[in-house]
Structure 1
């Protein structure tokens, strides 16, 4: 007789419903009647917010494509000196938060920055009226900064796609005397289009959800509208409506990406060991390729990191304070808690699917992963709605029994941030543990049942030792992502509570980048860990 797995069924469906609750809460609140604040926004500034968002996303995607696509083709199809180091270095900008790059570039390119001061000294210009210089604090400047940070999404996916293309097709193109440009335009690019489309959609979603960079550049987008509506007007209803609009945009982006490749099927044989059909660049072409790739690394990572290092060294005494140490501990506690809960949830929903095996058991897995596509600012509003309702219920219940008001137990404590981080990054843990469980032979499950093991014993004594590495990686990735998360932390942090991300944001927003440099470097170092893991996995594949 088949075991009912009541505990796993109840836990899997219950936890997945809890994680999808913030998204449902946004739409439930958004369909309510419009209030004066939302009507005022719709009649005045919403068109500007929407237009800015469209142009910001479009500009960032195009620039990221311009930066990442040539670099991906060069690293996949050309032989270059130092290519082993370069192919890893091109991924490093992902570890640099966009708002930190924005602060540094503004410091360099602003009117009072070193670059414009140097130009005025050299050419004898006296004021801004004597010359023209592009305004870094603009929508175009924000697009450039975000593209420098996000182009590795396109680079990674496009490079992998180029390396998986059929050797015979590339050799046939050479026999037909196709130039490298013709080979790229007529063979490599069309075959890599699905991967490029995925990379572009990732860049678009990250741009749509960015708050730190656009806030500093004074570009009003839908994300800043959510933030301002909640903190400025204290209006959760209007914030939920704007959040619902953003969720619909994200849904359209994902649907458009999938629709664009719905009928495309690729049957290719990737590079085999010993096959080297790459081009040998010489002369000016070699130096141009090296200059392009190393220039990206220098502009997006090396020079900003050197600037942060300079500030951290000279202002170490002012930066190493009790506040910095306390906020580091805050980030550590919150991130560790989120990682622990995310791994536990991922184990439950994945193990339930393995035990039952029916297609319906995939629903909790997919539902629990939805939060990863939701911007942090939008997710914060979704988390606030049910937690605020839970606080009201708890206080009403306590008063009815004469216990007094316990206060904001859920929405006013670390519970809100931890819950948001788990909703946001559970997909990372679920994917890691899902791939680890898939490598465990089903015969071990049958042998365990034959020996009389219950499902909990099977998990503890058979599966956990085998998937321990996958669990550790899942927890590490969730921990790192939680350490870097800014948007949700800004909206959900309790009073007098800061994380490293909000600490850096507050200093940099006050034009005190020198004091923000030390915690910013710590965030960058933490962000390097998953990049090293991703690059090592790519090297093992190819």
Structure 2
């Protein structure tokens, strides 16, 4: 009895000890609060700007802009959800449930379209399905048509056309989330249904599809957030979405207040998507926890004859559409323009992309490390909430972040300039607004969640008391983190840096709105060439973007190459 009394205070800290522990790291809490405030600042700035202005533009927006923009955006989201859902779920089911030629290769090749940004896919599809492109050229040669009026061909520059483009490059999100669930069901679910006499198709529709519904919803929510964020594809294809309306109202009409009001409407759509994704992820955890005990894989049914050919074609077409068409179009153009590799404009765009991406990756990884270590020191609900707020930027469209950051930086620059004029007698001008630092800041806020997720996955593999043991030997918290945790986290840090680097190279929507004069990345270089109707002149830059973006896709595909359940 006495021994138990002596041990109890050591194993169960008193509330006073818990308060002392939290008070021991006020700097960690301050860092987390500052990071969350900076991440939320662009969003708050947009909301304040939208509701604090004169409202002079609102009648025009409500009558002429918003009805079309909201309707087009929702229609596009519906079409993309249907298209990406059908391709992602169908391909996942085929590679998991059936055996057919090249099935194992297709299981990882289905991720390749993620390496193609939507705006590059739009440029390639527009060229591929153009009147003088290979598809319509083959139709005219086959049937002897000589004029456009001799036959009908669907218009790629339309809302359905944009939905096809976006579905072809985003369906891997649905494929990956759904494939995992299908693999984890095992014989305990699918085999039981088949032993009761259910055909494979009936097992899919009545058993596996309802179980995988949370994963499907989560994957589609990610697809729709990418669709809402897209700027280059919808502009090139002439689809007046909310993102394009923000751009047009801001730059063409010169109304920052009107752009902020459209952005607030867009925020409601994004919040709805976030709510759906979080709900689905909560549901998915339940099924994943139950399914993790089912280690047996579902047996695959060997297909032969025309059935094998049908499955082969059904899986091959999404890969060719999402990855093959852009690679073929830009590859053909690049082969005829090899001299572009030495052109100063491309070299400068490549150098700018590398410097911007490296700076963003270094800053995002550093902030993620500090933020997560602060959360490791102060394990409270308030700290967890601050981490969530700090990483909310990834869910926000780049256009909204760019708009909010511009408003915030402009006010900061005006404040500093006013102080300098009053007390020092000179003007500081614009310090951050319209600078490369603004682009790096926007990309860091947007992609901090990627760095945080990769580093967090590495931290979860380390014992929670590892750094505490180092501190018990006399090391301070920063010293124990630098000497103990950082060496063990090198793989996770490298992965986080690669993910942020690649997404920064691909980023267009925020960069095109915040960049200073003469600041061109590979993405903006391709955008400028396509805007003047010469997408072929940006082919080399497009291939460089795809080559860079394929690195994390290969890392992601490693478990799929080995055909594992991971």
Could you state the TM-score of these two structures normalised by the residue count of structure 1? 0.96
Q: CA deviation at 1:537?
A: 4.7
Q: Which residue of 1 aligns with 2:266?
A: 246
Would you say the 8 A contact 1:166–1:268 is kept in 2? no
What is the distance in 1 between the residues matched to 2:317 and 2:369? 43
- Describe the superposition over 1:186-224 as per-residue Cα deviations: whole angstroms up to 9, x where unpaired: 111011000000011111111111111110111101000
Q: Deviations over 1:258-280 (max 9, x none)?
A: 45687784353358666451211
The secondary structure found in structure 2 opposite 1:251 is helix
Q: Does 1:518 align with 2:565?
A: no
2:536, 2:488 → 1: CA distance? 46
- Matches of residues 245-284 of structure 1 in structure 2 within 5 Å? 245-259=265-279, 265-266=286-287, 268-270=290-292, 275-284=297-306
**Which residue pairs with 2:488 in the alignment?**
466
CA contact (8 A) 2:186 2:296 kept: no
What is the correspondence of 1:55-74 to structure 2 with a 5 Å cutoff? Answer: 55-74=75-94
TM-score, with normalisation over the residues of structure 2? 0.92
Gaps of 5+ in 1: none
Deviations 1:438-472 (A, max 9, x none): 22213323321221111111111111111121111
Q: Does 1:449 align with 2:449?
A: no
Q: The residue matched to 1:167 in structure 2 has which SS?
A: coil
Q: Which residue, out of 297, 318, 334, partners 1:296? A: 318
Question: Do the aligned residues in 2 keep the contact of 1:167 with 1:269 (CA within 8 Å)?
Answer: no
Q: Match of 2:516, SS? A: coil
Pair 1:70–1:30, CA change in 2 (3 A)? same
2: CA distance, partners of 1:262 / 1:301 = 32
Count of residue correspondences: 542
1:11 is aligned to 31
**CA drift at 1:497:** 0.8
Match of 2:105 in 1: 85
Whole-Å separation in 2 of the counterparts to 1:511 and 1:218: 13
Alignment of 1:492-511 (within 5 A): 492-511=514-533
Instruction: Report the equivalent of 1:352.
Output: 374
RMSD: 1.9
Q: 1:159 — aligned with what?
A: 179
Aligned CA distance change for structure 1 residues 443 and 117 (closer, same or farther; 3 Å) = closer
CA shift, 1:15, in A, is 1.7
Aligned residue number for residue 57 of structure 2: 37
Report how far residue 288 of structure 1 moved.
Answer: 0.5
Map of 2:511 onto structure 1: 489
Which residue matches 1:49? 69
Cα distance between partner residues in 2 of 1:288 and 1:400: 75
The answer to whether structure 1 residue 168 and structure 2 residue 193 are counterparts is: no
**TM-fit CA distance, 1:335:** 1.0
What is the deviation of 1:522? 0.7
Q: What's the offset of the Cα at 1:111? A: 2.5
For structure 2, the 5+ residue unaligned runs are 1-19
Q: Which position in structure 1 is the counterpart of 2:337?
A: 315
Find out whether 1:130 has 2:150 as its counterpart.
yes
2 CA distance for matches of 1:378 and 1:443?
A: 41
CA distance in 2, matches of 1:508, 1:397: 43
Q: Secondary structure at the match of 1:459?
A: helix
- Once residues 465 and 138 of structure 1 are traced to their aligned partners in structure 2, the CA distance between those partners, rounded to angstroms, is 51
2:431 aligns with one of 409, 423, 428:
409
Question: For residue 330 of structure 1, what is the aligned residue in structure 2?
Answer: 352
Deviates more, 1:118-127 or 1:292-301: 118-127
Asked if 1:236 is matched to 2:256, the reply is yes
